Structure 1
Amino acid sequence: MPRGPSLPDVAAAKLREARRLVRLQRSFDAERVAEDAKVLFERCEDAGGVASAKYLLVEAALLEERIEEARQVATEELAAAEKAKDGLREVAMLRALLLVSLAEGKPLDALELAAKAEAVLLKAAAATPNPQAAGELLLQVAQSHMAQGTTAAQQAALNAALQAVDHFSRAAEGQAGPFEADAWRAVLNARVVLGKFEDGIRAAEAAMVICVDCGDEVGQALCLLNISQAHLARGLPLKAKKAAEKALGQFQEQNSDLLAAEALDVLIQALVGQEQRKDALQRAKQELSAFLSSGDKWATPRMRGCLVKALMNMDKKKEALAEAERALESAQSLKSLRAMNEAMKPVAILNIQLGKVDKAKDLADELLRMSKQLGDLDGEAVATQLICKAVQERGVFEEKAALEREAEDLIIELKKAMTDRDGPRFKEVLEKCYENENVFTEDVEEIIGPVILTDPDGLYEFFLNNQPEKWKIDRADDRKFDAAQQFDRRLLYYVFRLGAMGYGPGFRLVKTDFRLGEPGQSSKAVGTLNLMENCPDWEERTAWHPGLLDCVLQVGAARVMTNDLQYKAKIETEEHRTVAT
C-alpha cells in the first residue's frame, strides 16, 4: 500500500499555506495554520521549522496590530536562538522584530535591527552561503527605507530591492520564485515613487512572468494590484481600471477581503479619473452590499471608504459623511490605530466642507496625534493642512453667519415697519435691504407675504409711496402681475402620445409648464427643463443636449392646451420674468 506523506512533509505544506494566507492578509486563517505547523515541527524536533512558523505567527499578529503579542513571540524565540547559537534562527527573529518596529512606525529602529541581522547572517554565511536568507533580509531593508518617505530613502529602497532580486536569482531552483517576484514588485513600487514609471512597469512584467512560471496565483494578483496603482499614479485611469478589475476578481476568488478592498479603491479612483462617477458609485455600493453579508470585519473600514470616495466625487457630502462615520465606527470597534487614522481623514474633510469646523478641528487634532504615534509622515501633513483649513474656515463661516443674521434682522424690521405703516422707517430699512447683498427677494417675500395679504392694495400703495430716493420706482413703469396656469406634465406627454409623438425617457425632460393668458397664439408659455436623474455622464457635459433642445419646443404646447389639463392652483408670476417661446 502507498504510504501517506511524512510528518515533516505535512509540516512544510502547512508552512507554505500559512505563508500564502499571510500574503493574502487573511490573519485569522494564517495564524491557525501557522500554529498547526509549529506543533508539527515541534513533534519533528525541527527548531528551524518552529522558528519559521513563529515568524509567520508574528506576521499574522501584526496584520491585526497585536504588536505586543508579536514582540513577545519574536523576543522569546530570539533568546532561544542565541542560546542555541543558531544563526539562521536568530536572523529570522531579528527580521520579525524589524516588522514589529515598522508596525510601530519606527523605520530607523527597523534598519538598526536589519544591520544586526546582516552581521549575524554574514557570520553564518562564512560557513554556508545562504542567498535566500540574504534576499529576504534585503527585501525588508527596502521596506524600511520606503517607510521613511524621503527621496534618498526611496533610492536606497530601490538599491536594496535590486540586490534582493540578485540574491534570489542565485538561490536554489524552485525555492525563491515567489520571493523573487516580491522583490521585483518592491523594485516597481520604488521606481514609481521616484517617477520612473516605464522602468517600474518593466519590473512588474518581470514579477508577473516569475509568478506565472511558478504557479504563484497570489503573486499574480499582487502584481496586478501594484500595476494598477502605478498606472493610477501615472495618470492613466483606463489602464489602472483594467488591472484593478482583474486584481479585484482574483482577490475575491482567493477570499482576501482586505486586498479586494484595496483593489476596489484603485478601481473607484480610476473610474472617477475617466469621468465615470455614476459607475464608480454604483460599483462601490454593489461591492459593499455583497461584502457586508459575509466579509472580513477587518476589511469593513476599507470597503466603506471606497463608497465614501465615490459619494464625495458625486458631491453627495451628507451621504458621504454618514458613510465615513460608519467606516470610522468600524475601525474603532477593531481598536485598530491604522484603520482609525485612515477612516478619520474623510470624516474631518467632510465636516469642513459642511461647515462643521469645530468638529473638524477636533478630528484633525486627533488625526495628528495618531499619525505621530504611527510615524505616518503623510498623515501628519494631511492633519496639519486640515487644522489650518478648519481655523481658516471658522473665520469665514463666522463672518458669513454674522452677515446672514444682519440680513434676517433687516427683513424682520422691514416687516414691522410695514405692519405699523411707519413710512420713514420703512424707507430707511428698505434702502439697507437693497444695499445688503445677503438679503434675497425670496426671503423678503416669505416673511412679509402674510402681511401683504391682509391689505394687498393698501400696502402696495404704501410701498410705492415710501421708496428710497436712490431706488425709487416710477409708477408708470411699474410691472404688473399676471396669473400663470400650470399644466400636468404627465398629461402633457399623454396628449403628445395621442398625437403620435411618443417621446422616450431622454426626451421627456419638461418638469413644469405654464401659460400666461388664455389659449391661443397671443398667449405665452414658460417652463423648466432638467436632465434625467440617472442620465449618463456624457449628457451632463453636453453644452447643447438634443433632448433639452427638443423640450424647448415642447414647452410651447401650453399655449394651446385646454384648461382641463392644468393644475387647480394658479402660480403668481411676474410678467417681466417670463420668456416667450
Structure 2
Amino acid sequence: MMTLESLDWSQAADLLHGSLEVGSWTALHESIHAKILKGEYSPALTEAQTNLQKLHDAGCQEGVAVLLVAEAECLSAFRNWRAAVGAATEGLLLAQRLSLRSLECYASFAVLPYAYLQLGESDKASEAAQHAYELCRQIVDRKMRAKTCMAVARVLQLVSSDASDAETCIREALVAFRALDDPVGEAAAQSSLAQVLVAQDACHEAVRPAREAVRLSSERGRCLAAAHEALVAALLGCNRVAEARQAAEGALSEVRQQGDKNGEAALLVALAQTLAAEKGASEEALSTLQEALKLRQQISLEMSAKVHLEASRLLCRSGMLDETLEHAQEALVSFRQARDWLGERSANVVLSEVYTRRGEPQLAPNRPEAMRLVKDMAQAVQERNADHYHSAAAKYASLAMSGAPVSTSEQREIFKGILQRDVGPSGDFIRANAVSTTSSTMAVGSTFKKAEKTAFYVHFRNSGIAYGPRYRAVDMAIGRSTPAKGDEFEAAAYAVYQIQEDAEDWERSLSSHPSLLDAALQSGSIIGLAQHL
C-alpha cells in the first residue's frame, strides 16, 4: 500500500514564513527550523528558549507565539512529546488571541497531531488535524490556501481513520491550482490525489489522476517521479503488472537523463515493486533495490529511508528476518531524522512483524498501540458499539504485515471479564461484526486470497504463533475486495469457524467459546497473509 508523500518540513515552514508579517521573530523561526532540519537539536532548543524569554520580556506577543511553536518543534525532535504538546498548545492559544491564523494552523498540523499520537491520544491528534483543515480553508490567499491544504492532507492521512478526509483536502487544493492556472501545483495535487486513492485501495480510480500528473509534468519538459510512482502503484493495485513495469522502466530512463538522483532512486523502488509482483523475480527485485542503495550518498535522507523500507518489506516476505531487521532499523532512524511521520509508522509495521515472527512481541514498537486497540475492541463489545469495534479492528490489523504483536492469551485475558459477565450477547456481537456470511455480500467483489485450514495455521506457526487444537477454529478464510463508496474498494475478511472436536463437553455448553472470539480476530489476518501464502 502506498501513502502520500511525506510532508517537506522546509516547505511547511515556508508556508508559515510567507504568511506572517516580516519581523525578527520570523527570521528566528527560520534559523531554528534550519537547525532542526540539520539535526542540530540542542542548539535549536537553546536558541528558541533564549529568544523566547527576550521576546516575552519585551512584550512582543506575536514573537512569543511564534517561538513557542518553534520550541515545541525542538521538543518533538527530542521526542519529549508531553512538553511539545504543552508548548504548541500555549503558542496556538496565543495565536488565536492575536488572530494569527497561519501560525494557529501550522501548530495544528506540524506539531500537535504526531505528538498526540505518540502519547496514545489519537482522538486529540485527529481533532488537531481537523482544526488545521478548517483553518486552512479560511486563508484568503488562494495559492497559500492550496499549498496549506496539501500539507494538511498528509497529516490527515496519518491521523484520520477515514482516508477520504485527506482526499477531500487534496481535491480542494486541486480546484484552487486549476483556477490559478498553475500546472506545477496541479501536477503535484493530481499526484497526491492518486497516492491517497491508492492508499484507500481505490486503484482503478487512481490511474486517471496519476496519468494526468504525468502529462502535466511532461508538458513542462520534466519527469515528476512522484507521479510515475503513483501510476505504477495504481497499476499494480489493478493487477496490471506488465503495464506497471513498462511505466517504471520508461520513467526511470527519463529521470536518469535529467540527472535526478532522488527520482532515479524512487523509480528503482517502483521497478522493484513490479518485479516483486512477478512470479520468480524476487532476486531481480532485490538486485534493483541494491542498485538504489548505491545512490544513498547522492540522494536525500528521506529517499534513502524509503529504499531501506522497501528492501525490508521484500526481505520480510522472503523470510529473511535478520536482513529485514537491519534495513527496517535503518529506515526508522532515517525517517525520524527527516521527521517523516508516515515513513516512521511504516518502518514500525515491519519491525513489529519481525519481532512477532521471532516470538519476541514485547520488543515490537507497535505493541503498546496494539494492546490499547484490543482493549478498545473489548470496550466496544461491552458497549455494543459496532462503529468503534470496526475502527479499532481496522487499526489493529494495520500494525503489522500479518499479525499484530498481542498474543492469544493476552487477547483472551482482555476479553475474559466481558465474556464472563455477558457471554451470549457478547459472543453474538463479536460474530456479527467480525465476519459477514450473507450471500448478497459474498456475491459481489473479487476474492484475492483464500486459505484452507492447514495453510492458514502453518503460516501462524511460521510466524511464531503456535495455536493448539482447541484454538484452530478457522476452517476456511477468504479475503475479498468489495465495492464501497462510488468506485472505491475495501478489503474484507470472511471466515467459517466453529468449536473444534478436541473441546470437552463443558466447553461445548458455552454460549460463546473463547476460541470463537480468537477466531474472529484471526480471520482478519487473511488480508495480510495475501502477501505471504
TM-score, normalising length: structure 2 = 0.52
Instruction: Give the drift of 1:280.
Output: 1.4
**Counterpart for residue 291 of structure 1:** 255
CA contact (8 A) 1:78 1:93 kept: yes
- Residue identity in the other structure for 1:232: V
Please show how residues 390-539 of structure 1 align to structure 2 within 5 Å: none
Inter-CA distance 143–293: structure 2 relative to 1 (3 Å threshold)? farther
Distance 1:199 1:272, change over 3 A: same
What's the counterpart of residue 203 of structure 2?
A: 237
What letter corresponds to residue 278 of structure 2 in structure 1?
M
Specify whether residues 389 and 132 from structure 1 end up closer, same or farther in structure 2 by C-alpha distance, changes over 3 A only. closer
* 1:221 CA displacement: 3.7
Tell me which amino acid in the other structure corresponds to 1:272: L
Match of residue 159 from structure 1: 127
Which residue matches 2:192?
A: 226
Question: Equivalent residue for 1:114?
Answer: 88
| Inter-partner Cα distance in structure 1 for 2:50 and 2:217 | 34
Shift of 1:65: 5.7
C-alpha distance in structure 2 between counterparts of 1:30 and 1:184, whole Å: 10
Q: Does 1:93 align with 2:67?
A: yes
Q: In 2 relative to 1, CA 212–199 (structure 1 residues): closer, same or farther, beyond 3 Å? A: same
Deviation at 1:292, TM superposition (A): 2.7
- Taking structure 1 as reference, are residues 184 and 371 closer, same or farther at Cα in structure 2, changes over 3 Å only? closer
Deviation digits for residues 461-505 of structure 1 (CA, Å, limit 9, x no counterpart): xxxxxxxxxxxxxxxxxxxxxxxxxxxxxxxxxxxxxxxxxxxxx
Q: Write the distance in 2 (CA, Å) between the matches of 1:145 and 1:242.
A: 35
The aligned counterpart of 1:381 is: 349
Residues 136 and 179 of structure 1 are in contact (CA less than 8 Å); yes or no, is this contact kept in structure 2? Answer: no
Shift of 1:211: 3.6
Render the CA deviation track for 1:82-134: whole Å, top value 9, x for unaligned. Answer: 454322233233333444455566655542331231244356x2xxx333433
Change (3 A) 1:68 1:141: closer
Q: Which residue of 2 aligns with 1:276?
A: 240
1:165, 1:184 within 8 Å by CA — same for their partners in 2?
no
Return the index of the structure with the highest Cα Rg.
Answer: 1
Higher helix share: 1
* 1:306 partnered with 2:276: no
Segments of 5+ residues of structure 2 without an aligned counterpart are: 1-5, 361-533
Give the 3 Å change call, closer, same or farther, for CA 98–331 of structure 1 in structure 2. Answer: farther
Say whether the 8 Å CA contact 2:268–2:288 is kept in structure 1: yes
Match of 1:136 in 2: 106
| SS, match of residue 48 in structure 1 | coil
CA 30–300 in structure 1, closer or farther in 2 if over 3 Å, else same: farther
CA distance in structure 2 between the aligned counterparts of 1:261 and 1:283, rounded to whole angstroms = 11
Unpaired segments ≥5 residues, structure 1: 1-22, 39-45, 393-581
What amino acid sits opposite 1:205 in the alignment?
A: R
**Cα distance between partner residues in 1 of 2:242 and 2:146:** 40
Q: Distance in 2 between matches of 1:230 and 1:304?
A: 21
Deviation string 1:317-338 (CA, Å, 9 cap, x unpaired) is: 22221221232333366583x5
CA RMSD of aligned residues (A): 4.7
**Alignment partner, residue 324 of structure 1:** 289
- Counterpart CA distance in 1 for 2:70 and 2:128 is 18
Look up the SS of the partner of 2:92 in the other structure: helix
Check the 8 A contact 1:24/1:256 in 2, yes or no: no
- 1:7 aligns to what? none
Aligned-residue offset at 1:270 = 0.5
Residue 262 (structure 1) aligned to one of 226, 233, 237: 226
Question: Does the aligned pair in 2 maintain the 1:344–1:363 contact within 8 Å?
Answer: yes
Mean alpha-carbon deviation: is it higher for 365-374 or for 318-327?
365-374
Counterpart position of 2:176 = 210
Q: CA 1:372/1:208 → structure 2, altered by over 3 Å: closer, same or farther?
A: closer
In 2, the alpha carbon distance for the partners of 1:296 and 1:347 equals 21
Letter of the 1:330 partner, please give it. Answer: L
Q: Distance in 1 between matches of 2:161 and 2:185?
A: 24
Cα distance change, pair 139–311 in 1 and its aligned pair in 2 (3 A): same
Asked if the contact 1:162–1:183 (Cα under 8 Å) also holds between the matched residues in 2, the reply is: no
**1:288 partner letter:** L
Partner SS for 2:294: helix
SS in 2 for 1:85: coil
Show the counterpart of 2:26.
52
User: What is the SS of the residue equivalent to 1:331?
Assistant: coil
Q: Is the 8 A contact 2:174 2:189 kept in 1?
A: yes
The Cα of 1:271 is off from its aligned counterpart by 0.8
Quote the Cα distance in structure 2 between the aligned partners of 1:318 and 1:269. Answer: 20
- Answer yes or no: is 1:182 the counterpart of 2:152: no
Which segments of structure 1 move beyond 6 Å, counting only runs of 4 or more? Answer: 252-257, 368-375
Letter in structure 2 aligned against 1:381: V
Report deviation, 1:263.
3.2
Partners of 1:97 and 1:237 in 2: CA distance: 41
Kindly provide the amino acid, as one letter, of the partner of residue 164 in structure 1. Answer: A
Give the Cα–Cα distance (whole angstroms) in 1 for the partners of residues 66 and 81 of structure 2: 18
Shift of 1:382: 0.9
Counterpart residue identity of residue 95, structure 2: L
Structure 2 equivalent of residue 491 of structure 1: none
Cα distance in 2 between the residues matched to 1:119 and 1:30:
20
Q: Deviations for 1:257-306, whole angstroms, at most 9, x for unmatched residues?
A: 8xx43333222111111222122112222222222344444555433322
Counterpart CA distance in 2 for 1:146 and 1:278 is 42
Contact 2:146 2:173 in 1 (8 A): yes
- SS of residue in 1 equivalent to 2:239: coil
Q: Which has the higher contact order (CA 8 A, sep 6+)?
A: 2
Aligned in 2, Cα 1:367/1:165: closer, same or farther, shift over 3 Å? closer
* Secondary structure class of the residue paired with 2:244: helix
Alignment CA distance shift 1:281-1:170 (3 Å): closer
Q: Does the residue aligned with 2:269 lie in a helix, a strand or coil?
A: helix
The amino acid that maps onto 1:327 is: A
Q: Distance in 1 between matches of 2:108 and 2:148?
A: 11
1:240 to partner: Cα distance: 1.0
Preserved CA contact (<8 Å) 1:311 1:319: yes
